[in-house]
Structure 1
């Protein structure tokens, strides 16, 4: 998908579909959480601070339902880093079909849950990655 360098793939499990045979909407947030963790851990090697990012805002756009046994690609891209927050975009696709779009705002917090500046290592690593360096 254009402008996305990272994706994580997963297969829809039977326990994730509802009586209509489609993925229950709450599972999409879990899919995004899994992909974001893999983006930080596997792709950027920033796993040490993952528990310090909290979701502050989420915007979701459902386009087409995913179904049992579908293989989904969850695309992740950080497109803005502020003082203490990061805006991350997601796409969920099945082959080349966009099923779902989302934008999350994560806030980096200290041990007491108070916002703190995004660490410079994170900022440099994410910006370099997203710019293709």
Structure 2
């Protein structure tokens, strides 16, 4: 999938605390970067503000994958690209790519499935219609 398929990107600089002994991004940090990208994507869509309110929707990560393509180095800026690929009855699938800032040099890809739950320890529940509309509206608007 080309970078052009992602309408949202968040730029982040690699910090010293995030690298390993070889001065490259430590493998567990890729999921952390995906989480940062997801939060900023949700903010751009208008969903994050609703999630932080008492009684707002609650999502849990049910699946997370990373595919490493090329090293990410200390002090490098990267773009964390995010898009909502699918909305199911009770889950949403998000795709991620990490590229060098402003470039189309793929460093990693990822996928997360997040499940909407009725409460923090509750069973899966349908994704609210208004939430689906927020993501669909954002993706359509970004196409223009």
Q: Distance in 1 between matches of 2:69 and 2:62?
A: 23
Paired residues of 2:31 and 2:66 also in contact (CA < 8 A)? no
| Residue number in structure 2 paired with 1:45 | 46
What's the TM-score, normalizing by structure 2? 0.86
**Selected match of 1:96 from 104, 116, 130:** 104
What is the CA deviation profile of residues 40-76 of structure 1, one whole-angstrom value per residue up to 9, with x for unaligned ones?
11x1111122671111011211000101001000000
Deviation at residue 113 of structure 1 after TM alignment: 2.9
* 1:66 is the counterpart of 2:68: no
Structure 1 segments (4+ residues) deviating >3 Å: none
CA drift at 1:127: 1.3
Q: Give the Cα separation in 1 of the matches to 2:87 and 2:51.
A: 15
**Counterpart in 1 of 2:62?**
56
Q: Determine the C-alpha separation between the residues in 2 that align with 1:110 and 1:72.
A: 35
Residue 20 of structure 2 is matched in structure 1 by: 18
Q: What's the secondary structure of 2:99's corresponding residue? A: strand
Residue 105 of structure 1 corresponds to 113
Aligned equivalent of 2:130, options 110, 114, 121 = 121
Shift of residue 132 of structure 1?
A: 3.1
Q: How many residues align?
A: 132
SS in 2 for 1:131: helix
Q: Which runs of 5+ in 2 are unaligned?
A: none
C-alpha root-mean-square deviation of aligned residues, in Å?
Answer: 1.4
